[in-house]
Amino acid sequence: MAESHAATVEGSGPSTTALAHHFEDMEQQREAGTLGMWVFLITEIMFFGGMFLAYTLYRSKYPDEFARGSRELSILLGGINTVVLIGSSLTMAMAVHSAQTGNRKKLIGFLAVTLLLGLTFLGIKAVEYTEKFEHHHFPGVNFKLGEHSETASQVAQKPDGAAAQPQAQKPVLDSKRVQLFFWIYFAMTGMHALHMIIGAGALSFLIYYSRKGRYTPEYYAPVELTGLYWHFVDIVWIFLFPLLYLLGLHE
């Protein structure tokens, strides 16, 4: 992606001067850029894959604790963010289409809306994170769950020996394992948010150069490739939302 952006710097104007010296023609350059982006996205899948593996392992090992942790997340905020991101994918697609058809005004407009939606997502995420920190849901020494929940240590403190006969409906939860859920939550959503920030940077870059009129129907690879990246980051969230937020529902 960065490479295709850079390729344009060499030429003073749009279209054919955007061709880097080592490519035969624009078609070859576009092909290389697109394939490069796809390969990059595959590395991203493998990168997130490591965390998905950890998630799968611990969720199957500790289903109750994961459901418990999940119930602390706000489905409303997560849901709004899901809608926001899907909307931004739509506007991103419209931006690519506008670049294709050479409508510069629309291109800048759609890019700006996409950026705005991306920032909205990050803003809501920040609200969620703040709330988690305030409620001591960030794993570590200060971690604790809400009043209404019973963790193993709290049950053990009860004088009447309730720990010896836990009710069948309410399994005793291990606080460490709930922390594992939150740790995976923070790792995955944090890594996703980092990708959103990088995407927002790329969008700002595109807006800047669109205003300068760099992209034409012959040369709009950077817009197209950023679009691919943006859609990928959205898709990751489409997986994260049900896996992390909707777990607690099945009870």
Q: Which residues bind other proteins (CB under 8 A)?
A: 2-3, 6, 20-24, 28, 31-32, 35-36, 39-40, 42-44, 46-51, 53-54, 57-58, 61, 139-141, 174, 176-177, 179-180, 183-184, 187
What's the min distance (Å) between Cβ of 160 and other proteins?
A: 27
C-alpha distances in angstroms, 164 versus 63, 139, 178? 22, 27, 21
What's the min distance (Å) between Cβ of 137 and other proteins?
A: 12
Q: Which is nearer to other proteins, 61 or 158 (CB)?
A: 61
What's the min distance (Å) between Cβ of 84 and other proteins?
A: 26
- What SS3 state is found at 173? strand
Q: Which is nearer to other proteins, 104 or 136 (CB)?
A: 136
What's the min distance (Å) between Cβ of 133 and other proteins?
A: 13
Q: Which is nearer to other proteins, 64 or 174 (CB)?
A: 174
47-51, long-range: CB < 8 A, 24+ apart:
47/191, 48/188, 48/191, 48/236, 51/184, 51/187, 51/188, 51/191
Q: Which is nearer to other proteins, 14 or 36 (CB)?
A: 36
What's the min distance (Å) between Cβ of 39 and other proteins?
A: 5
Of 102, 113, 59, the C-alpha closest to 242 is: 59
Q: Is the dihedral of CA 160, 67, 44, 26 positive or negative?
A: negative
Q: Please identify which residue in the block is written with the tokens 């606080």.
A: 175
What's the min distance (Å) between Cβ of 51 and other proteins?
A: 6
Q: DSSP readout, 50-90?
A: HHHHHHHHHHHH-HHHHHHHHHTS-HHHHHHHHHHHHHHHH
Q: Which is nearer to other proteins, 40 or 97 (CB)?
A: 40
Q: Which is nearer to other proteins, 80 or 187 (CB)?
A: 187
What's the min distance (Å) between Cβ of 176 and other proteins?
A: 3
Round to whole Å and give the CA distance between 185 and 56: 12
Tell me which amino acid residue 197 is.
Answer: I
Residue 20 contacts residue 7 (beta carbons within 8 Å): yes
Of 143, 149, 138, the C-alpha closest to 71 is: 149
Q: Which is nearer to other proteins, 143 or 209 (CB)?
A: 143
